[in-house]
Amino acid sequence: MGMFWHGGPRVIRLVSGVVASMAVARHLGPEDYGALCFAIMIATLAAGLVQIGSMEVVTKTAATHPEEMRSLLPSALRWRLFGAILAGGLIALIPLWLGQRAIYWILTFLPITLVPECIEAVFYGRQEFRTIAPLRAISAVLGLILRLGLVAAGAGVAAFAFATVFEGGVVALTLLRFRGKITGGPGGGPESSGLNLFQQSLPVAASGILIAGMLKLDQFLLQALRPGVEMGYYYVVVRLFEAVGVLIPSYVSAILPDLARLRSLSPEAYKGKMIRIYRRIYQAGLLIAGGSCLLAPWGIPLFFGNQYEASVPVFMAYSFAFPSFAVGSVRAMEFIISNKNQNHLLVVLMLLPFQALFCLLGIHWFGAAGLAGATALVSFISTTLFSMVMPALKESGHLQKEALKGILKWKVS
């Protein structure tokens, strides 16, 4: 039932996100749609500073030491608010280089809407998914209705930036009302909890921003080298896979508390469980990639219109990045459970030259489609190949090797 209550709203967000993307993309056209998506990407990347009050740390603490939540939660909210203010300032400066002032100034409020999400993380850690599920489902539907209304009204690009902030604001205000449902013992006191949270969250936030920035390097390079309609062709694909990708954090958040407890009780049982999880993620990811290639030639023109026909090869190439993104999410959870968050930074530093080279070559030779293929290759190197060859990742590498050995086994054990 936990997966139902946690995953159900994500499915609704998936459907609403896909429908909204199709409607907005058709309405704005490739160039304006690309500009909007790039601005939202920049704002989301800057909002990574909110992770100074890490949701993952709060979730893990709620699962393993629930008595500390009374003192930890206020500290998390303060640190996240501090990060949100910094992020908003950074977003406000972007128009100095890229223009589009109205879009970016509206999006300066986006990080503030993410501050109360640590309240949601407490319920995740306690596996009380049913409490929060209706909120996410309702907000997704409201967001879809708002965007469809704006399309019907013939609204401009800035209006859709406002829709993003408005949807986040509704969630934030509602989450604050749920705060009173959280109880716990006095723990270690606000000061010690706040310091401990900062020490645990800082590497998560730093690595998260670097990793997110590196994952978006493809979009930065495309904006720099081939701005305009090619951004729209690329973003149609990226936003679709991001919509599908909302299911992955749902899965990871739902199983993280149990896995954290299992690792402390039985390391061998934990390893066996992780091998099975990795195997299923590889299998599901490859099935989705293969199916996407078959559907792309008729699906893209049907849902987005003939103006996006050039997105078909982009979609086919990018689909093979999805399995690696999914595996990367599971490996990130593994790092959190084992307190090895510094491995994120190590992977980023090692991967950056490969990513820059392959993406530049892909754009130069084949434009947006070449960039999509390069992204798929780089994602595989990052999440699978590096796990096999880097000594610091040998624990993850062993689990992934064992998972790949049985990738043709579909029987559930």
pLDDT of 94 above 50: yes
Same domain, 282 and 318: yes
| Per-residue pLDDT band at 190 (split at 50, 70, 90) | very low
Q: SS3 for 338?
A: coil
The residue ranking higher by pLDDT, 49 or 311, is: 311
Q: Which of 117-126, 218-227, 286-295 has the lowest mean pLDDT?
A: 117-126
Q: SS3 for 1?
A: coil
What pLDDT score was predicted for residue 69? 74
What pLDDT score was predicted for residue 191? 45
What pLDDT score was predicted for residue 183? 57
Same domain, 325 and 402: yes
pLDDT in tens, 208-218: 777 777 778 99
pLDDT of 154 above 70: yes
Which residue type, as a one-letter code, is found at position 132?
Answer: I
pLDDT (mean) for 168-193? 70
The residue ranking higher by pLDDT, 398 or 134, is: 398
Compute CA distances 101 → 24, 92, 157, 324, 327, whole Å: 20, 8, 11, 35, 37
Same domain, 223 and 194: no
Pick from 240, 2, 20, 242: which is nearest to 140 by CA? 20
Distance CA 196, CA 335 (A): 18
Among 166, 200, 234, the domain boundary falls at 200
Distance CA 405, CA 81 (A): 45
Q: SS3 for 153?
A: coil
Distance CA 68, CA 110 (A): 29
Judge whether 71 and 187 are in contact, CB under 8 Å. yes
**Sign of the dihedral defined by the CA atoms of residues 139, 333, 43, 225, in that order:** negative
Q: Which residue segment(s) compose the domain that 154 sits in?
A: 1-200
Judge whether 193 and 118 are in contact, CB under 8 Å. no
The count of domains in the chain is: 2
Same domain, 161 and 25: yes
Pick from 122, 126, 187, 403: which is nearest to 284 by CA? 403
Specify if 292 maps to a domain.
Answer: yes
What pLDDT score was predicted for residue 135? 85
Average pLDDT, the chain: 87
Which residue type, as a one-letter code, is found at position 109?
Answer: F
For residue 10, the surrounding DSSP H or E stretch is helix 2-46
Distance CA 400, CA 181 (A): 39
Same domain, 31 and 143: yes
Same domain, 14 and 79: yes
| Per-residue pLDDT band at 192 (split at 50, 70, 90) | very low
pLDDT of 314 above 50: yes
Specify if 206 maps to a domain.
Answer: no
Q: Which two tokens stand for residue 62?
A: 């709620």
What is the C-alpha end-to-end distance of the chain, expressed in Å?
A: 20
Distance CA 261, CA 386 (A): 27
